[in-house]
Structure 1
């Protein structure tokens, strides 16, 4: 009987194999549900042995946990590509677009990241959720700069960041699920929602229009449509 935890020297671990196993497991889960998530199927698609799952993750629960961490590591990497400029509102718009692009490029990881998949033997812990909370700090810092620049009214930048996250996350769920109704596409929805949010936190309509236009010119250069696997994630505190 295979032990749930196998200790192997770190020198024998291949990071490329680790990332491949994470992507394959997440795709099987997204396409076929929890019943498809088995060491046999994952190993077969990766062209390796079932032992590789235990070597890299210790257990199937460990593999699912790594999907969560990898998903947020890729989001953090996407955010890090957004250039900090003297127009923090444009920066905020590009961050929201980066969030959307990351979700689309990694849709197989997306449901797992937020606990949208119920898997036997695994549930998100507070440490797991910390990966998501950490990525929000980039948006909080941007909201702080918007307030300090006089673009947003005085207020709580953490609350502003949550508002931006909630609105963008909701749009992404509808976008990935194919629920938007033509001719209302996701880009149009994003621009409209963001415009309303920016006005709601105190920005001027003319200034918002200028920042939105600037952000559109930057999106293709600062946001990748697809991302290679990130370096192994570490817990952020």
Structure 2
């Protein structure tokens, strides 16, 4: 089956994404994107309406890549263990695409455009991948405190905080904890959300 032809919007987004990944958010501008496409800046504005429109398209593409990566984590009979693997895949994505990660989560502005308000909800698709596994943990009786949505939010905030601290170099600069960092706090979070301590230890071994 023939792949669909890329539109001008697709191409401009791809160029901006490649500039971001290769050189960082400061490298992306309407001028550079248009020049790489072989047109004037009017091509960008006529396609997206504004710089913010181009940024939103890049962010959509970035979250699509993240959601697709997280969706590759296989589902097993242990939803708590699956949540750890899901978080590790999320963490790996951030380390493999640090510039993109910072932009999609509004840690860094892209081309000087800082997103706010409703724009920050663009990551709902990626969040839903984690939320679905959390719901399974509640259905299976592993987690029980609060609601699945609140638990998924706590889980995402925990992984996001770790990733931002790692990307900034804070984690490497601090003395190593006596127990594996991720496994120990994931066990604590699971138990805090209602999991049995022994079950959490089996699902999240310190060797993981």
Structure 1 residue aligned with 2:58: 67
TM superposition shift of 1:211: 1.3
CA contact (8 A) 2:12 2:33 kept: no
Whether 1:25 aligns to 2:20 is yes
Unaligned runs of 5+ in 1: 1-9, 217-237
TM-score relative to the length of structure 1: 0.70
Whether 1:38 aligns to 2:29 is yes
CA contact (8 A) 2:183 2:206 kept: no
Unaligned runs of 5+ in 2: none
Structure 2 residue aligned with 1:13: 8
Corresponding residue to 2:184 among 187, 192, 195: 192
Structure 2 residue aligned with 1:221: none
Structure 1 residue aligned with 2:70: 79
Corresponding residue to 1:208 among 189, 194, 200: 200
Q: Find the residue that maps to 2:144 and give its secondary structure.
A: coil
Partners of 2:158 and 2:30 lie apart in 1 by 37
CA contact (8 A) 2:70 2:86 kept: yes
Report 1 or 2 for greater relative contact order, CA contacts < 8 Å, sequence distance ≥ 6: 1
CA contact (8 A) 2:16 2:28 kept: no
TM-score relative to the length of structure 2: 0.79
| Mapping for residues 137-176 of structure 1, pairs under 5 Å | 137-176=128-167
Q: Find the residue that maps to 2:146 and give its secondary structure.
A: coil
Structure 1 residue aligned with 2:38: 49
Corresponding residue to 2:96 among 105, 111, 132: 105
Structure 2 residue aligned with 1:178: 169
CA contact (8 A) 2:108 2:114 kept: no
Aligned residues: 199
